[in-house]
Amino acid sequence: MKKGILLSLLAVSLLAGCSGGGTQNANSSSGGQGEGSAVELTFWRPQASEVEDNVYVKRIEEFNQANKGKIHVKMEVITRGNSFAYEDKINAAVASHTLPDVLAMDGPNIANYAASEIIIPLDEYFSKEDLDDFVPSILQQGSYQGKFYAPGLNESSVVLFYNKKIMAEHGITPPDKIENAWTWDDWYDVMKKTSKDGVFGTNMINDKGEWMTYAFEQLWISGGTDIVNKEGTTAEGFVNSPQGVEAANFLQKLANEKLFNIDPKPTEFEEGKAATKLGGPWNIPGFKNYPDLEWGITYFPKKAGGIQTAPSGSWAVGVSADTKHPKEAAEVIKWITNKDSSTQLARAISMPASRKSAFESLTEYNELPLRIIKEQVTGVSHARPVTPAYPVLTQKFAEALTDIMVGADVKKSLDNVASTYDEEYKRNFAE
């Protein structure tokens, strides 16, 4: 029985560089008409940038050509704008049993879609060798209760950008080997040295919504815990654990000492007004618009003695429970996430690939600065919590961190996240 469809409460939208955010009208691409007795499939995905959309159009055309007379896919691109029209369309289709055969979804929504029986497991369609080719965080994000539902189309990461001129002025050499990655204390010392004369020590607020969970959950992981347990059934003792309180206290200390701007201008780092910046590969193309900026990349800071980790997450694709052709739909999934698709998409949108084998062709990731991103994506990244109650978790966690950064009591704020999440999980998802 389908239950707990929470997406109307908060449609989780990932970050810049990922699907979504288009403003044009919906359109479709089929790569030609169907062929005789070929199985006809539909594929929904949200509109993205023109360059990203073009990759999917090309790959679907190539799929239809390779499967001529057997399978024919019609891709429908859904306008999102700044709202959640795409998720609303899926929710409406769930109610009327008119879901497409294949659908794209934001990574944190996978567990909710799986628990709500909107998508089906894909384990029988992927070999172990094929699954092992995905970077570990893609398997983590795409799995729920021991079954694999949805591979990611690409990956993402958050690194610490730095201004080379400011670092040189202060005699600071950022690490370029992962074993020497800065600890929180190292990063704090860098911020203290560089935060002066109108320059902030760092720029780390992308937005006060999903970014807060995407970026800062890693502080909990680095401390050896998480914001919920591994099963996703409770936040009590995790988000408000001693390690969690320590992580939140660290963020509050940075805010109290005004080492970052809680309401930053989006181009603060690019304009030389922040010495470092927590950001992702999606920022890099824009750096060329600031010719005076000399930038480098180092690793996501970790807790002293803790785990080296980094954020990850991407849009993914799955097979709907309404399809009458699961085998053929799975073939589309495998094609749109195979090595060639992963490589082409990574090159087009400047985001890391979701497959290890794709990096063989992306040789620019073998050298600095992109080597840092590759090392994080393939070795230490962690996906956000896999839980069907994620929409409530991320909303409450983001609110709590924002309050903590402006002076709220750390323990009480985290206790409220734990109690609210646990009530939500028990009400809608507990067996």
The pLDDT tens digits for 57-68 are 999 999 999 999
pLDDT exceeds cutoff 70 at 4? no
Q: What count of other Cβ atoms lies within 10 Å of the Cβ of residue 213?
A: 24
For residue 218, the model assigns a pLDDT of 98
> In this structure, what are the phi and psi dihedrals at residue 426, rounded to the nearest 5 degrees?
-65, -40
Q: What residue spans define the domains of the chain? A: 39-155+314-377, 159-312+388-429
Please determine whether the domains at 39-155+314-377 and 159-312+388-429 fall in the same fold group of CATH.
yes
Given phi > 0 = left and psi -120 to 50 = alpha, else beta, which region is 36? left
Instruction: Go through 66-85 and write b for each residue having 16 or more CB atoms within 10 A of its CB, e for each that does not.
Output: ebeeebbbbbbbbbbeeebb
pLDDT exceeds cutoff 60 at 150? yes
Length of the chain: 431
Percent of the chain with pLDDT over 70: 91
CA-to-CA distance for 394 and 280, rounded, in angstroms?
20
Strand-pairing partners, residue 152, are 316
CA-to-CA distance for 296 and 373, rounded, in angstroms?
12
CA-to-CA distance for 287 and 296, rounded, in angstroms?
11
Per DSSP, 214 falls in state H
Helix-, strand-, coil-residue percentages of the chain, each rounded to 5: 45, 15, 40
Strand-pairing partners, residue 318, are 103
For residue 107, the model assigns a pLDDT of 94
pLDDT band at residue 87 using 50, 70 and 90 as cut-offs? confident
Structure tokens at 75: 């891709």
pLDDT exceeds cutoff 60 at 6? no
For residue 75, the model assigns a pLDDT of 97
CA-to-CA distance for 70 and 394, rounded, in angstroms?
42
Least confident of 49-53, 373-377, 397-401: 49-53
pLDDT exceeds cutoff 90 at 19? no
How large is the average pLDDT for residues 233-246? 98
Instruction: Go through 41-57 and write b for each residue having 16 or more CB atoms within 10 A of its CB, e for each that does not.
Output: bbbbbbbbbeebbebbb
Instruction: Go through 246-265 and write b for each residue having 16 or more CB atoms within 10 A of its CB, e for each that does not.
Output: bbbebbbebbeeebbbeebe
Least confident of 21-30, 35-44, 205-214, 371-380: 21-30
For residue 261, the model assigns a pLDDT of 96
pLDDT exceeds cutoff 90 at 273? yes
Strand, helix or coil for residue 42: strand
For residue 129, the model assigns a pLDDT of 97
pLDDT band at residue 31 using 50, 70 and 90 as cut-offs? very low
> Strands 27-29, 147-148: parallel, antiparallel or unpaired by DSSP?
unpaired
pLDDT tens by residue, 338-391: 999 999 999 999 999 999 999 999 999 999 999 999 999 999 999 999 999 999
Least confident of 29-43, 101-115, 342-356: 29-43
Per DSSP, 301 falls in state P
Structure tokens at 365: 């990731």
332 neighbors 73 (Cβ within 8 angstroms): yes
- Which CATH architecture is the domain 39-155+314-377 placed in? 3-Layer(aba) Sandwich (3.40)
Please give the model's pTM, rounded to 2 decimal places. 0.90
Q: What count of other Cβ atoms lies within 10 Å of the Cβ of residue 27?
A: 13
CATH homologous superfamily of 159-312+388-429: Periplasmic binding protein-like II (3.40.190.10)
Nearest to 48 by CA among 24, 21, 13, 72: 21
How large is the average pLDDT for residues 145-168? 97
pLDDT exceeds cutoff 80 at 12? no
Mean pLDDT of the chain: 92
